[in-house]
Amino acid sequence: MTALVLGHKNPDTDSIVSAISAANLYRERGIDAVAAAQGAPAPETAFVLKQFGLEAPEVVTSVAGKDVYLVDYSDLAQAPADFSGCKLLGIVDHHKLGDVTSDCPLECWIQPVGCCNTILKLMYDYFGVKVPEKIAGAMLCAILSDTVLFKSPTCTDADRKAAAELAEIAGVKDVEALGMEMFKAKSNLNASPRDLIFRDFKDFDMSGKKVGIGQLELISLAMVTPELKAELKAELARVKAEGRHTAILVLTDIMKEGSELLVVSDAEDTVRKALNADANSWMAGVMSRKKQVVPPLQLAFKA
């Protein structure tokens, strides 16, 4: 049976490129596998795929009866609804360990680095498999995206090393310029407030409370007009009303290196305090949802 290599809901660039690069590596190892995604590419990912001549993975939202490898997550909330009916064969991830379990022994490559594709580069090297040129370019972009041009506190030496080696393989001379082009594509605000919130959105179970957190990384927050901000806030209230304790949108200014917090919650003060937001909802230095938003919230909700 062909195994599916599947990224998370609301796929970002790392999730989609990980599925492509992991599926290629599994095939090179003799495992029948194909890349899949739980949604269509967002603008940033579309730019990356086009830039390197890659096709978007097949969209898959049901996995019952299938063999599955997960990339870039290990949370049931980010998996298809019928996940318990699949056979989990492996995980490649760089997040906290989630609540996914397996019925059989499996392979997990989980490392505390800035990007899932950094781990995949290490795996290519471990198995002695050459990264194809096009895939190397996309993997480089995934690292630039996840580490926000190496500026995120999640960025490690392993990410910088993998990026340099992938740039070499892909023949990318000006990594910085490629990254800026990609973030310009990402800063596309031509979408409904709902689509903007869900473009990179994840639900977390925090001590029994469902907390949804979206993030928009922009070249400049000046792009978000007061009107758009009001629309986003109104839509966030609807997102919260759909069974969540808290709905958050983190608006990240990648050049100013900080984020503005939009929040609708049953415990708004707890959230603002946990995230150290100032009177203008500005969180100086906050670039990473995974490292600077999720852990303090989890702690706050545990208390």
Binding site for a second copy (CB under 8 A): 88, 91, 94-113, 126, 154, 290-291, 295, 298-299
Yes or no: say if 188 and 43 are a contact pair by the CB < 8 Å rule.
Answer: yes
State which residue, 188 or 298, has the beta carbon closest to a second copy. 298
Burial of 18 (0-12, 13-18, 19+ CB in 10 A): buried
State which residue, 92 or 169, has the beta carbon closest to a second copy. 92
Of 288, 295, 289, nearest to 152 (Cα)? 288
Shortest Å distance, C-beta 101 to a second copy = 5
| Contacts of 39 by beta carbon, 8 Å cutoff, 6+ apart | 9, 10, 11, 59
Burial of 128 (0-12, 13-18, 19+ CB in 10 A): exposed
State which residue, 186 or 290, has the beta carbon closest to a second copy. 290
Shortest Å distance, C-beta 229 to a second copy = 31
Of 238, 284, 289, nearest to 264 (Cα)? 238
Yes or no: say if 262 and 248 are a contact pair by the CB < 8 Å rule.
Answer: yes
Residue with tokens 């995230």: 275
Query: How many angstroms separate the Cα of 24 from the Cα of each of 19, 35, 121, 132?
Result: 8, 8, 12, 9
State which residue, 158 or 197, has the beta carbon closest to a second copy. 158
| Contacts of 174 by beta carbon, 8 Å cutoff, 6+ apart | none
Of 139, 103, 105, 134, nearest to 119 (Cα)? 139
Shortest Å distance, C-beta 16 to a second copy = 20
Type of residue at 23: A
Shortest Å distance, C-beta 192 to a second copy = 32
Query: How many angstroms separate the Cα of 120 from the Cα of each of 136, 220, 247?
Result: 11, 31, 32
Shortest Å distance, C-beta 71 to a second copy = 14
State which residue, 102 or 188, has the beta carbon closest to a second copy. 102
Type of residue at 164: A
State which residue, 234 or 299, has the beta carbon closest to a second copy. 299
State which residue, 36 or 113, has the beta carbon closest to a second copy. 113
State which residue, 76 or 180, has the beta carbon closest to a second copy. 76
Shortest Å distance, C-beta 189 to a second copy = 30
Shortest Å distance, C-beta 104 to a second copy = 5
Shortest Å distance, C-beta 68 to a second copy = 12
